[in-house]
Chain A
């Protein structure tokens, strides 16, 4: 698979353009076109109680978006990347997924939420919904600049080159296989991949040592196989085995290894399943200060 077309969804929040620019690293991996997308939420312009539809407001928002996008297009054009503008009115998440499918993009890049003191998460409800809904196309949650806690201090972190050193967390599932394949398409943009597997508490709990050693050995072998696949594709790769709570271990390792992004496979659990079973990939997307790429 070649990564040639990316859909960049924006709400024109601060640093959106910087987030877009950070995607230009993908040019080395074969990126040719970016679809600049803005969805005007229907509620912003429609269903005015007893009033109907604010056509003028829609026009204003469209024009505003067009002018911004055209400015961005110039920068993209200078960098040698083609672009197309899509401005539509509707329900943001389903609309984005529909556009992405229609445009046959290889990757959707979406939002960044300012973390608040109350809810220490970096992903808004729309982005989380996008992760659940995009069952065929990988989604990258770009977090260009975030504030995070490091050694008891609140520090600003800028993720300028997210693709440089991805941490690839695998659970050996089919989506993980897909993620592995997707990473190989990033060749050129990636310096080194850290392949990580965590023997989760649920698995290791209550096991005797022999069984644990067997799992450890098997995991190491599988990690080596993954690394071999990446190396075969021309990417530098290093295996890491960890044990403990999966999400926190992955986040800990991403900090230790100076990763620039976390890549995972995702099974696309719906809200109900996620509520009862929980989704490691979504939890990491919410809690990590790094851009997170989820491959279905």
Chain B
């Protein structure tokens, strides 16, 4: 698409959104400090939908264009909401944008960056032979690590050794798919470090260890999937009839390099924990109030990332094929996601008084939350989806109540709903390549290494629906009915 066409599209969108937003603002001005969520029109959510649909559709239908212009597309959608919203609501809109940037986006990106940087300094060397037992053990290790070093970190640490161990095997595709299921998604459900949606929950007041409530759900999902994996791997291993490859040259012993990075990972856990346990007062930055401990946590995370960069030899990162590109991509895309989701979140928080009241009324039972959060997480990134349904639940149970009061109440009185949202967001992120950021990174590395990966729909039809969805049905019956 040419720059001219893009500009025209942007103009049309602004013209569509702006009058409605402006009218709504006129309606609300008489109330002084208006509740934006109650007056915002539904179409102010168009840029958010456009942003998420761009992420879902461009990689499928125009991957090359998307690859080179995703930053501009993200900026386009962000501007499409920011400009009319700022014109219409001025200071109040500016506050909402600054709030989401400073309170959500910045800590979110800092945590991802720190985990990505530190995990990228750990290298697993050695000649492993990918038998069903070895592969299953590697998947268990990756799954266990994911909650502590992030699904991205664990996936990046384990995927290359996993691929190397199995490069002599004929059927490798299903292995990588199960790797995505377990290491890149479900494994990250135990702590806010594991998966971005849970960290967003933590930033909004969900205690660090609350996520351990998902342990039974996780164990059931992991158990079922590992058994299926082992059976499949054993079947294909026998079918292939391959024996261990003749070692080329000297067999390299198993070795973990950059092990000191685990200390930095421990530091990350400590910093995040600390920010949830202490209260050192608040400071206002650009009018946004945040706890001092939160700024300290962000500073510590940056420090830990920098220390990892200094301590880890460049050669080790190169041997790990470490690159900044994926994290840059996430940073560019998520600024668009966070800015465009502002109206949507405000409307949801307004509960029955907002334009998304129908959604709140539809989603009532825990199982609804599990499946609705999940299904949308499959096709949209799971972090914003989590926040959307988190806000839906708050708006549904405690409309108009401040988040700081509403979240503890939600946990105390309606814990199962939050479990449904958290498990749905994390688990269903595995259903498609676009459900969670590490999915596409793993796919990219596997394809580069010569492992054929299924298409977008092939992945869903051959793997997600038969294996994942059936597992989630079991989980629904055990935990949410």
Contact = CB atoms under 8 A, between A and B. Distances in A.
B325 A43 contact: yes
Given A43-B323, A91-B323, A49 B447 contact: no
Interface string B56-81: 10111001101100100000000000
A48 B66 contact: yes
B321 A53 contact: no
A94 B320 CA distance: 12
A49 B337 CA distance: 14
A54 B60 CA distance: 11
Contact of B59 (A46, A51, A58): A51
Contacts of B59: 48-52
Contacts of B446: 53
Contact of B440 (A45, A52, A94): A52
Contacts of A91: 318, 321, 323
B145 to A, nearest CB: 22
B326 A47 contact: yes
B333 interface: yes
A94 B63 CA distance: 27
Given A55-B447, A94-B318, A50 B433 contact: yes
Interface string A182-196: 000000000000000
Given A54-B64, A54-B67, A55-B447, A49 B323 contact: no
A84 interface: no
B55 interface: yes
A84 B370 CA distance: 57
A244 interface: no
A243 B321 CA distance: 46
Nearest to B439: A50
A90 interface: yes
A94 to B, nearest CB: 4
A50 B55 contact: yes
B453 interface: yes
Interface in A9-52: 42-43, 45-52
Interface string A51-75: 1111101100000000000000000
A48 B321 contact: no
A46 B441 CA distance: 8
| Contact residues on B (Cβ < 8 Å of other chain), bracket | 20 to 34
A53 B55 contact: no
B325 A48 contact: no
A137 interface: no
B329 A47 contact: yes
Interface in B428-443: 433-434, 437, 439-441, 443
A52 B433 contact: yes
Interface in A84-100: 89-91, 94
B388 to A, nearest CB: 18
Residue from the set A48, A58, A89, A91 with the largest chain B CB neighbour count within 10 Å: A48
A51 B321 contact: no
A191 B18 CA distance: 74
B453 A51 contact: no
B440 A49 contact: yes
Interface string B167-183: 00000000000000000
Given A42-B325, A57-B64, A91-B323, A51 B433 contact: yes
B448 interface: yes
- Of the listed residues B63, B70, B437, the one surrounded by the most CB atoms of chain A closer than 10 A to its CB is B63
Contacts of A45: 448
Nearest to A57: B64
Interface in B115-151: none
A49 B67 CA distance: 7
Interface string A95-111: 00000000000000000
Contacts of A51: 58-60, 63, 66-67, 433, 440
Contacts of B433: 50-52
A51 B434 CA distance: 7
A46 B448 contact: yes
Interface in B277-323: 318, 321, 323
Nearest to B441: A47
Nearest to B447: A53
B444 interface: yes
Given A42-B448, A54-B63, A89-B448, A49 B70 contact: yes
Contacts of B434: 50
A255 to B, nearest CB: 37
Interface string B324-335: 011001100100
B326 A52 contact: no
Contact of A49 (B60, B321, B329, B445): B329
A134 to B, nearest CB: 13
A46 B444 contact: yes
A47 B447 contact: no
Nearest to B332: A49
B323 A42 contact: yes
A50 B442 CA distance: 10
B346 to A, nearest CB: 26
A47 B333 CA distance: 13
A49 B333 contact: yes
Contacts of A48: 59, 63, 66-67, 440, 444
B64 A49 contact: no
Contacts of A49: 55, 59, 66-67, 70, 329-330, 333, 440
Contacts of B318: 91, 94
Contacts of A46: 444-445, 447-448
B295 to A, nearest CB: 28
Contacts of A90: 321
Given A42-B325, A47-B329, A52 B55 contact: no
A45 B68 CA distance: 10
A43 B323 CA distance: 9
17 contacts: A42-B325, A47-B323, A47-B329, A47-B444, A48-B67, A48-B440, A49-B55, A49-B67, A49-B440, A50-B433, A51-B67, A52-B433, A52-B447, A54-B63, A54-B67, A91-B318, A91-B323
| Smallest CB-CB A-B distances: 5 pairs | A51-B59, A52-B443, A53-B447, A53-B444, A49-B329
Interface of B: 55-56, 58-60, 63-64, 66-67, 70, 318, 321, 323, 325-326, 329-330, 333, 381, 433-434, 437, 439-441, 443-448, 453
Given A47-B441, A48-B63, A52-B59, 18 more contacts: A42-B448, A46-B444, A47-B325, A48-B59, A48-B440, A49-B59, A49-B66, A50-B439, A51-B59, A52-B433, A52-B440, A52-B444, A52-B453, A53-B445, A53-B446, A54-B64, A90-B321, A91-B323
